[in-house]
Amino acid sequence: MTVHDVIESLGVEVAVDGDTTRLVTSGYACDLLSEVIAKAAPGSAWATIQTHINVIAVAAMVGISIVIVCEGRTCESDVVKRAAKEHLTILYSRDSAYIVSGKLYALGLR
Amino acid sequence: MLEVAGDLHLHSCLSPCADITMLPGEVAGRLAARGIRVASLTDHNAACNVPAFQRAFQRAGILLVPGMEATTAEEVHLLCYFETMDALWKFSRRLLASYPRIVNDPERFGYQLVCNERDEFVGQFPFLLSMASLLSLEELRGLVEQLGGVVVPSHLDRRYGLLYQLGMVTSDMEFPTYEVAHKVNIERIAAQLPGHPQFVSNSDAHNLDSISPPRYVFEIEELSVHEVLVALRHENGRGVRLL
């Protein structure tokens, strides 16, 4: 499954396109960035409510394929710019991280 | 240079997680007995008890640095220090304006008691103080610095610390001074930080028995709040020395 496929299936707002040809191989949900660094797998779709600029740095470090910002939260322009520079896809969802995780799971991401 | 023992992270009975015996006279007595000469009351997100502590500290010959431990939107704890009470009040009002008003249930979260300088309880703070403010780390830091204050990120080596919540410190967000809960962690923490910061380790006392002997001294020209803030900014040859 690619980033493009996930965007189509979830039907959420795209804040940053990024590289939509990247493969998405798993999912992860967490707001503690130190935990994400330690536990998230490369290729993950990551659901979080954190919008600090370090989200982008952590995603790049881990090799996250998509960041899904939940609960209707949005990122500041500097965060969006940094994500675009990293070719990282950022999506905005009105759902909670729990619902987003369920949807990702239903898509077959484990 | 003067060498003055400091403890810039203490909670009073106002913090819901602190013991109700954390009263001005009691705390001042313990600090004086430990040889601490510069101290700061840093309750979570409120400063109501600072004036009472300032008077009690003064009687015990301890200099009070106006301060607070603020919680950013990312749930990072930041120690915020100011040169004057006026600046602390301004900060306190701005923080409260950006704060979710959840009425505290003392039986669940703990009592948030306002006290006077005679160690008497005179009221309760109505809104739960352990919530995160709506100000981001950058906004909160900007506000403190605009008011002439200094930010020291709290206990980098444990929960609610900057590294724990946000995973890393990038070179565009470095601080001159960081706090660690335990001095043994400094080498490991320093390796994860940009630049060459200095470290303090305070008691973060939530009860009287946790008020510890001095862990560091300020190297300053004279005993004043201004000099302490310069030392925390690590400027003009002022700084801290770990013991």
> What is the model's pLDDT at position B196?
93
Q: Which residues contact A107 (CB under 8 A, 6 or more apart)?
A: A1, A5, A6, A9
> For the residues B48-54, what does the mean pLDDT come to?
98
A69: its two tokens: 């910002």
Contact A32 B165 (CB under 8 A): yes
String of b and e for B11-44 (b: at least 16 CB within 10 Å)?
bbbbbbebbeebbbbbbbbbbbebebbbbbbbbb
* Sign of the CA dihedral with B209 first, then B210, B216, and B218 last: negative
> Which CATH architecture describes the domain B2-242?
Alpha-Beta Barrel (3.20)
* Sign of the CA dihedral with B2 first, then B8, B14, and B17 last: negative
Contact B170 A33 (CB under 8 A): no
The Cα B79–Cα B138 span in angstroms is: 14
Q: What is the pLDDT of residues A66-100, one digit of tens each?
A: 999 999 999 999 999 999 999 999 999 999 999 99
Give the best residue of A28, A30, A31, A34 to mutate against chain B (max B CB count within 10 A).
Answer: A34
Q: What is the pLDDT of residues B71-122, one digit of tens each?
A: 999 999 999 999 999 999 999 999 999 888 889 999 888 999 999 999 999 9
Whole-prediction pTM value? 0.92
The Cα B147–Cα B166 span in angstroms is: 25
Give the best residue of B76, B155, B157, B166 to mutate against chain A (max A CB count within 10 A).
Answer: B166
Contact B166 A36 (CB under 8 A): no
Q: What is the pLDDT of residues A19-68, one digit of tens each?
A: 999 999 999 999 999 899 899 999 999 999 999 898 998 999 999 999 99
Q: Which residues contact A14 (CB under 8 A, 6 or more apart)?
A: A7, A89, A90, A91, A92
pLDDT(B5) > 90: yes
| Chain B interface residues (partner A, CB cutoff 8 A) | 74, 136-137, 163-168, 170
A 75-94 near B (Cβ less than 8 A)? 76
Radius of gyration of chain A (CA): 12
Whether A32 has its CB under 8 Å from any CB of chain B: the answer is: yes
> What is the model's pLDDT at position A34?
87
Contact B74 A36 (CB under 8 A): no
Q: What is the pLDDT of residues B56-73, one digit of tens each?
A: 999 999 999 999 999 999
Reduce the secondary structure of A32-96 to three states and give it as a string. CHHHHHHHCCCCEEEEECCCCCHHHHHHHHHCCCEEEECCCCCCCHHHHHHHHHCCCEEEECCCC
Please, how many CA atoms are within 13 Å of residue B231, restricted to the half-sphere of its CB?
A: 29
Contact A57 B164 (CB under 8 A): no
Measured between beta carbons, the chain B residues lying within 8 angstroms of A57 are 167-168, 170
Decide if the complex's ipTM is over 0.90: no
Whether A54 has its CB under 8 Å from any CB of chain B: the answer is: yes
Pairing of strands A89-92, A13-16: antiparallel
pLDDT(B39) > 90: yes
Domain ranges of chain A: 3-106
User: Class of the A3-106 domain?
Assistant: alpha beta
The Cα A72–Cα A13 span in angstroms is: 10
> What is the model's pLDDT at position A100?
97
Nearest-CA distance from B165 to chain A in Å?
Answer: 5
> What is the model's pLDDT at position B233?
98
Give the best residue of A35, A37, A53, A79 to mutate against chain B (max B CB count within 10 A).
Answer: A53
pLDDT band at A3 (very low <50, low <70, confident <90, very high): very high
A53: its two tokens: 């600029």
pLDDT(B240) > 90: yes
Domain ranges of chain B: 2-242
Instruction: Determine which helix (DSSP H) or strand (DSSP E) holds B229, and give its type and residue range.
Output: helix B225-233
pLDDT(B14) > 90: yes
Contact B166 A52 (CB under 8 A): yes
> For the residues B10-21, what does the mean pLDDT come to?
97
Selection from B201, B236, B148, B146 nearest residue B7 by Cα: B201
3-state secondary structure of B69: strand
